[in-house]
Structure 1
Amino acid sequence: MQDSQTQAFAGKVLVLSGGVGGAKLVHGLANTLGADQLTVVANTADDFDHWGLRICPDIDSITYALAGINDEKRGWGLKDESWRTMVAMRRLSGEDWFQLGDQDIATHLYRSMRLSNGDSLTDITADIAQRLGVTTRLLPMSDDVVATRVYSDRGEYEFQHYFVRERCEPKVERIEFIGIDTARLSPLVKDSIADPELSAIILSPSNPFLSIDPILSLEDCRKLLKNRGVPIIAVSPIISGRAVKGPAAKLMEELNMPTSAHGVAEYYGDLLDGFVFDELDAAELDVIRNTGIDCRLEQTLMTDMASKEHLARVVLDFARDLKR
């Protein structure tokens, strides 16, 4: 539902997003913009195969959030989930480090069957979203396979093995996106960037290195965004030196970067026109502004729908002001 503040926002919005954290802002934006105004580009470098199924964690987190069926208490997966398949798998001594609920497995089965039939991830994602009642346009960053690989003091890991099985405990030395050099940015994403009605580009409060960087690293994506001529705004996932969700702060420290909102802004660099970060980090305001990035201080922690919608309105108002 739109209110008087967001009715004044003209044009379309493109959001680059990872999973849980980004999905919260996406949900807020979806509730404050018309369905035809919002397009979300999801990271797919976290995707992997498990139990013979193709699993797309970020796409699914965004889809479930927009459908209103995500488990907000647990922070991932579906609400009202059951786990009988996991119980049976343990009985067979199968791999059980990655939790898959019974309903969630149906999503992965459906996707895997469609992929084996030659359908594109873009078409499958749109179909799943439509069947779950989602009206927001959700696009995978690419139909080509890209895989995040983590190199650490304990060896080399596929991302989900590092993130879930190893609980982010190894010290990260570098990150690589396997297949990024040959993967093509989705043509529909290119069309969305070029859309003459596009008025703002938002980098959601997802992990800059693991969720947003894979999207920006696809062929000319960063250049296309920078040259588009509309405000580009990032929302910091760091509050008071800590990540709201996931290993962003740990990674920044291990990669010798400032564990701060300023560190995030510095990482995105001249791509940004605006940066939204939490009031608790107000001491960093001047140092970020001195880099030439306009800033907004705001309460950025999203704990319920009201706070998601509030932050969405803040970002949209900021984009409107930057455009003037």
Structure 2
Amino acid sequence: MTTEQPTGQPTEQPTEQPTGPTSPTVTVVSGGVGAARFLSGLRDAIDPTQITAVVNTGDDTVLHGLSISPDLDTITYTLAGVTDPVRGWGLVDETWTAMGALERYEAVRPAGSAAATRWFNLGDQDLATHFYRTARLAEGASLTEVTEEIQAAWGLPIRLLPMSDDRRTTIVTTADHGDVSFQDYFVRLRHDVVTTAVRFQGPAALTQAARSALVDADIVVIAPSNPLVSIAPIRSLDGVDDLLGARRDSVVAVSPIVGGEALKGPAARMLTELGHEASVVGVARLYASIATALVIDPVDAHLADAIVAQGMECIVTPSIMSSPEIARELAATTLNAVHN
């Protein structure tokens, strides 16, 4: 266990990683791309069968009649090693024949119809995942059951759990477009609009499997995902914050903000627009009640005292996961922040 640094100086972390039979059980509270990269590093640092990810489904949507779970699929494809390295999402060597063929119908689409929309691209290989998920849900399977089947199809040793089997939709209120779904905000509007509020809609509950994963793990990690639209949907489910707060000493968060900017996506802009500080200190304020430590990049080391002032231990280590080695070291250091 690392010791508290009252002066806010970075905690020196041992280089040994817990491996083999001594690997702790770890549950990662996860969004999409940042969480996927962290999970890849964690898989290399400890026994992957000891890892569970509880994944945001507030981004889930239905398009062309298909049930789409972007964060679950991003993690699946990343861990399977088939993510497109250029785009950072979707499948490598993807083709877009089906989406291209929809152009034929745009001229005949009635006003107000959502048929044949192409602002959310679905690759031909990616469609197979959505076909399978949609068909199994229609047969009465839960999203948890379907996710386990998709995980097995891709041969993943890490367990992936949706936060809920119910629909819990992230709604973004914008200055110029009113209320829109998260995918409308993120993809159609390219998150290039002013955000005035975020809320989560739908009477969803944390699944029993996800609850057990959060209660029983030796360590809970909050992944470097957007605190407001990737982690907050999970926290919005009844009892989650109480559960994490009760075991706060074994919960550690990794900041998605480095040098005042998000490495990917609109996290920094959203923090500012919604009245938070777009810095590691702002992240600390959001997580202080549920996590004992915050992992930050060396570029933000000068803010260590301010993080400690929020009641959190500050761990400084390279957190820009530009290589598998850095991702592995980040994961190991994160675990060492709370691992005995």
TM-score by length of 2: 0.90
1:61 aligns with 2:74: yes
Report the residue type matching 1:264 in the other structure. Answer: V
1:71 corresponds in structure 2 to: 84
What is the rounded CA distance, in whole Å, between the counterparts of 1:185 and 1:230 in structure 2?
22
What is the rounded CA distance, in whole Å, between the counterparts of 1:203 and 1:42 in structure 2?
11
Matches within 5 A, 1:1-324: 5-7=17-19, 10-93=23-106, 94-154=116-176, 155-179=178-202, 182-195=203-216, 198-228=217-247, 230-320=249-339, 323=340
What is the rounded CA distance, in whole Å, between the counterparts of 2:43 and 2:283 in structure 1?
25
What is the rounded CA distance, in whole Å, between the counterparts of 1:274 and 1:309 in structure 2?
19
Which of 220-229 and 206-215 deviates more?
220-229
Q: 1:229 to 1:21 in 2, by over 3 A?
A: closer
1:264-285: CA deviation from partner (whole Å, max 9, x where unpaired): 1111222110100111111211
What is the rounded CA distance, in whole Å, between the counterparts of 1:32 and 1:168 in structure 2?
34
What is the rounded CA distance, in whole Å, between the counterparts of 2:96 and 2:215 in structure 1?
44
1:62-115: CA deviation from partner (whole Å, max 9, x where unpaired): 111111111132111011111111111123223111111100011001100111
**Displacement of 1:10 after TM fit?**
4.2
**Displacement of 1:11 after TM fit?**
2.5
Return the index of the structure with the highest Cα Rg.
2
Report the residue type matching 1:168 in the other structure. Answer: H
What is the rounded CA distance, in whole Å, between the counterparts of 1:64 and 1:165 in structure 2?
23
What is the rounded CA distance, in whole Å, between the counterparts of 2:50 and 2:31 in structure 1?
20
Residues matched between the structures, number:
315
User: Is the Cα contact below 8 Å between 1:277 and 1:298 reproduced in 2?
Assistant: yes
User: Is the Cα contact below 8 Å between 2:173 and 2:179 reproduced in 1?
Assistant: yes
**Displacement of 1:256 after TM fit?**
2.0
Report the residue type matching 1:53 in the other structure. Answer: L
What's the C-alpha RMSD, in Å, of the aligned pairs? 1.4
User: Is the Cα contact below 8 Å between 1:141 and 1:185 reproduced in 2?
Assistant: yes
**Displacement of 1:194 after TM fit?**
3.0
What is the rounded CA distance, in whole Å, between the counterparts of 1:120 and 1:230 in structure 2?
33
Query: What is the aligned-residue identity percentage?
Result: 41
Which of 235-244 and 262-271 deviates more?
262-271
Q: Secondary structure of the residue that 1:270 maps to in structure 2?
A: coil
Q: Secondary structure of the residue that 2:18 maps to in structure 1?
A: helix
Q: Secondary structure of the residue that 2:278 maps to in structure 1?
A: coil
**Displacement of 1:230 after TM fit?**
4.7
Which of 240-249 and 89-98 deviates more?
89-98
Q: Secondary structure of the residue that 1:61 maps to in structure 2?
A: helix
Q: Secondary structure of the residue that 1:222 maps to in structure 2?
A: helix
Q: Secondary structure of the residue that 1:64 maps to in structure 2?
A: helix
What is the rounded CA distance, in whole Å, between the counterparts of 1:257 and 1:229 in structure 2?
22
**Displacement of 1:142 after TM fit?**
0.5
Report the residue type matching 1:158 in the other structure. Answer: S
Q: Secondary structure of the residue that 2:284 maps to in structure 1?
A: helix
- Higher relative contact order, chain-length normalized (CA < 8 Å, sep 6+): 2
Which of 29-38 and 140-149 deviates more?
29-38
Q: Secondary structure of the residue that 1:148 maps to in structure 2?
A: strand
TM-score by length of 1: 0.94
Report the residue type matching 2:179 in the other structure. Answer: E
User: Is the Cα contact below 8 Å between 2:83 and 2:92 reproduced in 1?
Assistant: yes
User: Is the Cα contact below 8 Å between 1:193 and 1:228 reproduced in 2?
Assistant: no
Report the residue type matching 2:228 in the other structure. Answer: F
User: Is the Cα contact below 8 Å between 1:199 and 1:230 reproduced in 2?
Assistant: no
User: Is the Cα contact below 8 Å between 1:201 and 1:230 reproduced in 2?
Assistant: no
